[in-house]
Amino acid sequence: MLPTEPIGSIPRPNQLLAGIQDFQAGRISQQELDALYDLALQDTIRSLESTGSPVISDGEQRKPSFATYCIHDLETIAADGIPIVFADGHIRNLPRLTGAPFFYRTPADMYLERAQRYTRVPLKQAVISVSALSLLYPQGGIPGYSREQYLEDLVTEQEGEIRRCLQKGAHAVQIDFTEARLSLKLDPTGRLLNSFIDLNNLVLERFSAEERQRIGVHTCPGADRGSNHSSEVDYSELLPSLFKLQATNFYVQLASERDHKRVLKMIKQYAKEDQRIFVGVIDPLAPHVESSEEVTERVLEAASFISPLRLGTTDDCGFAPFSDDTSRSRETAFGKIRSRVVGTAAASKVLGLA
């Protein structure tokens, strides 16, 4: 059977979103908010299990965002960092580092542990890349805390985060590298992208070849409030560098690309023989729920370029990487995931892998 995995986030239920607002306004306690988080987590896990997915996530129900979960409420962080401009004009600002010491306040293995209480289905854990967090360091520097020291601390923090996830039984750890395509928009020369590749490899090279079998990298042009931040950047500028990362699994946005075959040809050209490619067969930004037949067609198309022995399926992106994104419903997300699971299974039979 072809492997199929989610990317991560699921839209939060309305009750939880209202509870977060109530907590921020001082109307409910931390204990009451935690209870709402647990209810959302349990409902999300039950719903993901009901799709038949062989691997699930926690839906990132407790994360404020996929990018900032580990530094949320850190005292040495300000809100006025680099702005990320999306195609529809809305902006998300990265935080800005203001001082030392730097550490992960809530590393991903803490989310994994909580989710494991409620399921026996294999759990995948997403983590934010060190390259994304490298953008927190201000251009003007920080007195007494050099950029070099910050990056060293950052690499050490992520190594520990990933290693603990593996030790605690995560099915796989996925490094979210959505800034890869964005880096080429910020710096068309490719120097920023190459520095990102080198920085992420500093983390990956700390793991054995066996450990890297369970480590992957996700790339997409972003997904927030029905928009993206870098889909205009052509894959031909990214893919030759992407597969230089010392990871085994690559989760590649594809469903929303205009020319699937062109991208698949490039993947075939640049991916290494020991790298597994999970192609995106679901577009989270598309309002309709793809049919399982659509998914099957997309999988078989991919299998004509990539050996089925190195092929898997996934979603292009998470369904709500930022907790306040309500542009998609939970029902739509679960429907799309169900189609991915069923369509992948059908394609597996056609390919003789079932």
Whole-model pTM over 0.95: yes
DSSP letter at 214 equals T
Could you identify the residue written with the tokens 């991919």? 302
The pLDDT of residue 46: 98
Q: Supply angle C-alpha 120, 122, 124, rounded to 5.
A: 135
pLDDT score, position 354 = 78
Angle between helices 330-350 and 292-303 (to 10 degrees): 50
**Residues 313, 251: Cα–Cα separation, whole Å:** 8
What sign results for the dihedral spanned by CA atoms 261, 263, 269, 273? negative
Listed in sequence order, the residues at least 6 apart from 124 whose beta carbon sits closer than 8 Å to its beta carbon are 5, 6, 8, 55, 56, 57, 170, 171, 172, 173, 174
The pLDDT of residue 338: 98
Among 283, 279, 206, smallest CA distance to 249 is for 279
**Distance between CA 14 and CA 20 in Å, rounded?**
10
213's tokens = 């079998």
Are residues 322 and 86 in contact, defined by beta-carbon separation less than 8 angstroms?
Answer: no
* C-alpha closest to that of 279 among 292, 263, 290, 294: 263
**Nearest Cα residue to 283 out of 325, 241, 220, 235:** 220
DSSP annotation string for 104-151: -SS-HHHHHHHHHTT--S-BEEEEE-HHHHHTTS-TT-BTTB-HHHHH
| Domains and their CATH numbers in the chain | 55-350 (3.20.20.210)
pLDDT along the chain (354 residues), means of 10: 97 98 96 98 98 98 97 95 96 97 97 98 98 97 97 98 98 98 96 98 98 98 96 97 98 98 98 98 97 98 98 98 96 98 98 92
- Measure Cα distances from 254 to 154, 251, 297, 315, 323 in Å: 30, 9, 13, 9, 24
